[in-house]
Every structure is written in structure tokens, then in C-alpha cells.
Amino acid sequence: MHRHYAQFKDRMEAGQQLALKLLKFAKHTDVLVLGLPRGGVPVAHEIAKVLYVPLDICLVRKLGVPQHKELAMGAIAAGGVRVLNYDIISCLGIPSKTIEHVASTELKELQRRDRFYRGDHPQPKIHNQTVILIDDGLATGSTMRAAVSVIKPLQPAYLAIAVPVSPSQTCQVLQAEVDELICLLKPDNFYAIGVWYEDFTQVSDEEVKQILRSYLEHNQAPAF
């Protein structure tokens, strides 16, 4: 369906093409590539291989407003990072008890996934690093915005976003949040991320685990 839109064979090819736009970061000891599970991880894997830099994941969970799950009142990440959107919380009068309940539920799921993906490997060092956040594409950008919101407080020296495809409007909004945004395709008729790939098969949890663990065990670079 919609194959005529396809610009990338699959996520691996998209990662290889994107890596060519990121060569200035190659072999730097302070660079860290973070893929957003699940679809961003195969893309990030190709980039990390080309740049010869460490790969890890940025596992985030949005804190959805009850009855309006698509509306984020905050986000959490592994390592106990929590960011709240006080404008939304104040505007909707969301009580702290509700926030704690949602955060507790999401934290359990985040910890479960983190254990599954990472095993006993420690969280990556973010402070003073050049961090590149990777996904297989952006639509509304809400998950990437959540990722930015949890990485920023950890004080990276430089924060970039790199994606194969995104609507230009989403790029403009996120560009203001980071030091640099790299996007290969900004189509006017975006439709959906999947139409820009010939093969957009869903990435499994097992694939993410295998990519991450093999990289953490065999390709650790000096930044760790």
C-alpha cells in the first residue's frame, strides 16, 4: 500500500543514509547515539556502526492525562528522571494523587522494558556528552518531545535529533528544543511514517534486546 511513496528500503537503509549526514560526529569519544524503541533502534544501530560511537536506547513513557491519554502531562525515563508539564496540570486541575498514580503505573512498565532490553547493563552517561536522539520517523513528534524533555535535565553538552522522515512543521517545532535537527525527507504530503519505507515491519522487543545487548557487550567505546 502506498509503495510509490517509499524512499527507503527498510530501517537499515534509512540508518545508513542518515549516517552520511552525521559524519562530523564520527569517532568522537563524547558522542552517544540513543535510539527510541522500538522502531528507532535498528536505525540508530546502523548510525552507530558507521560513526563508530556507542549505541544505547532512550526509553521514555509519556504520562497521559486520564481520559485524554494522547495529551501528555509529563514524561519519565529510566534512571528516575521525571518531567512534568505544569501548564497542562494547572490548566486541567490535575491532582497530585492522579499524577502519582499514572507515574507509578508507567514506571513499572518502563522498568520492565528496561530490564528486558538492557539486562544488568548500567544507564549511559549523558552529562557533558554529545547526544543524538534517533527514531525511524516523526509524525506529531510527541514521543521525541518526551525524549528531549527527559534528556535535557541530564545536561548533555550538545543535543541533536536525527530522523529519516518527518513533516516539516514537526521539524520546526522540535528544532527549537535542541541544538540541531537532521531530517532527510520533509514531504508536504506526509500521510504516515510507514509509507516512506518499502518494508516497515514492526520491530519486536526481542530485536531491540538483541541489538542493544550485542552492542553493549561487544562494542563498548570510551564514552562508557
**Domain-embedded: residue 29:** yes
Classified as helix, coil or strand, 10 is coil
Query: Does one domain contain both 27 and 137?
Result: yes
Domain end, chosen from 118, 139, 155, is at: 118
Residue 7 lies in a domain: yes
Query: Same domain for 52 and 78?
Result: no
Find cell 569517532 and name the residue: 27
Specify whether 126 is located in the same domain as 140: yes
Q: How far apart are CA 84 and CA 184, in angstroms?
A: 31
Q: Which residue among 118, 138, 160 closes a domain?
A: 118
Peptide bond preceding 118 in cis form (omega within 30 of 0): no
DSSP class of residue 160 equals: E
Q: What is the pLDDT of residues 169-185, one digit of tens each?
A: 999 999 999 999 999 99
* Residue indicated by cell numbers 511513496: 5
Q: Mark whether 97 and 182 lie in a shared domain.
A: no
| Helix count and strand count (H, E) for the chain | 7, 8
What pLDDT score was predicted for residue 16? Answer: 97
96, 179 Cβ separation under 8 angstroms:
no
Residues 73 and 46 reside in one and the same domain:
no
In which domain, by residue range, is 87 found?
Answer: 62-118
Residues 128 and 196 in one domain: yes
HSE at residue 71, side-chain half, CA atoms within 13 A, is 13
Residues 89 and 196 in one domain: no
- Residue 223 counted as domain residue: no
- What is the DSSP annotation of 27-67? T-TTEEEEEPTTTHHHHHHHHHHHHT--EEE--EEEEEETT
* Under 8 Å between Cβ of 162 and 47: yes
- What values do phi and psi take at 93, rounded to 5? 60, 45
Residues 136 and 185 reside in one and the same domain: yes
In degrees and rounded to multiples of 5, residue 77 shows phi and psi of -140, 165
Residues of the chain with pLDDT under 50: 1-3, 221-224
Tell me the three cell numbers of residue 192. 504516515
71 and 158 fall within a common domain:
no
Alpha-carbon span 16 to 106, nearest angstrom: 33
One domain, residues 49 and 144: yes
Q: Are residues 139 and 177 in the same domain?
A: yes
- CATH assignment of the domain containing 104: 3.30.1310
Same domain, 127 and 104: no
Give the model's pLDDT for residue 219. 59
Q: What torsion, rounded to 10 degrees, do the Cα atoms 37, 40, 43, 47 define?
A: -90
* CATH number of the domain where residue 41 is located: 3.40.50.2020
- Number of domains forming the structure of the chain: 2
CA distance 102 to 67: 12
Q: Which of 103, 118, 133 is the last residue of a domain?
A: 118
Q: Which tens digit of pLDDT belongs to each residue from 27-57? A: 999 999 999 999 999 999 999 999 999 999 9
Q: Are strands 130-134 and 31-35 parallel, antiparallel or unpaired?
A: parallel
Chain centroid to CA 136: 9
